[in-house]
Amino acid sequence: MLLAHALGLARLDLYVHFDRPLAPAERDRVRELVRRRGDGVPVAYLVGEREFYARPFAVTPAVLVPRPETETLVEAALQTLAGRAAPRVLDVGTGAGVIAITVLLERPDATAWASDLDPAALEVAHQNARRHGVLERLVLRAGDLLEPWQEEPGHGRLDAVLSNPPYVARGDPLLDPAVARHEPALALHPPEPDPLHFVRRLAREAPAALAPAGVLAVEVGLGSAAEGLAVLGAHGWREARAVPDLAGIPRVLLARRPAPGA
């Protein structure tokens, strides 16, 4: 991937032109990329792109590199939205925009809002929305969790609040040091040493934003699902369950809005 990127070729062309010698400038470009990869810089940052749900998305060091686990969240959200016409969804902490944009691409009748604290991340999401032709169905706003959406005039109620929030506590020994060094701290770590910080906040704050049958889908880290489900249950969320990712790890908490007055 690095070689193809440095030479401006498709990967297949590397095989077709396997015996073409490199010009000195090309060799320097490849060497520099390999050196940075050796420092632990994610390939996605070096080539400026990552695939998500079989589509290419631009990424920069301002955003978390989208992970395959998050496709489980999108899949679960699409299933719950299957019976609803013209669904309205909010992607909280959108980063590169992969969740909102994929839902919009899979559901051409949907409308989405997406928030992020970091305006630089929203620029990447904007670029991706334009690239995938969904900009007119997506409102991108900077701010804290649901706040930017609440401030939108005439925002109505949502069918789903979706989020892959920061959930790795600072100093977690399981966190790859290269990830901690290169991916944005704001995308990785909650503001306090509680992996469920944002689940607790969404459990409290999301009901007011959702239509009566609305759902919350939120990604959690390894070992957090059982406690996360208990948090949702304590706030009256209904039919709460954990959906496993492809590795069988309970990864996405899915629940229906608490009954009004609960």
Ligand X SMILES: C[S@@+](CC[C@H](N)C(=O)[O-])C[C@H]1O[C@@H](n2cnc3c(N)ncnc32)[C@H](O)[C@@H]1O
Q: Which residues bind ligand X (CB under 6 A)?
A: 63-64, 66, 70, 92-96, 98-99, 115-118, 121, 144-145, 164-166, 186-187
Backbone angles phi, psi at 133, to 5 degrees: 70, 30
Closest distance between ligand X and the C-beta of residue 244, in Å? Answer: 17
Closest distance between ligand X and the C-beta of residue 73, in Å? Answer: 8
Q: Name the packing angle between helices 197-205 and 225-234 (round to 10°).
A: 30
Closest distance between ligand X and the C-beta of residue 258, in Å? Answer: 22
Pick between residue 26 and residue 118 the one whose CB is nearest to ligand X: 118
Pick between residue 6 and residue 115 the one whose CB is nearest to ligand X: 115
Pick between residue 92 and residue 252 the one whose CB is nearest to ligand X: 92
**Distance between CA atoms of residues 138 and 107, nearest Å:** 12
**Distance between CA atoms of residues 193 and 224, nearest Å:** 13
Closest CA to 252 of 183, 186, 199: 199
Pick between residue 6 and residue 198 the one whose CB is nearest to ligand X: 198
**Distance between CA atoms of residues 187 and 164, nearest Å:** 9
Tokens found for residue 9: 């070729």
Pick between residue 125 and residue 231 the one whose CB is nearest to ligand X: 125
Closest distance between ligand X and the C-beta of residue 247, in Å? Answer: 17
Strand, coil or helix: what is 172? Answer: coil
Pick between residue 71 and residue 159 the one whose CB is nearest to ligand X: 71
Closest distance between ligand X and the C-beta of residue 133, in Å? Answer: 20
Place of tokens 């009004």: 260
Tokens found for residue 53: 């749900």
Strand, coil or helix: what is 201? Answer: helix
Residue 114: enclosing H or E segment and its boundaries? strand 111-116
**Distance between CA atoms of residues 78 and 91, nearest Å:** 13
Closest distance between ligand X and the C-beta of residue 16, in Å? Answer: 34
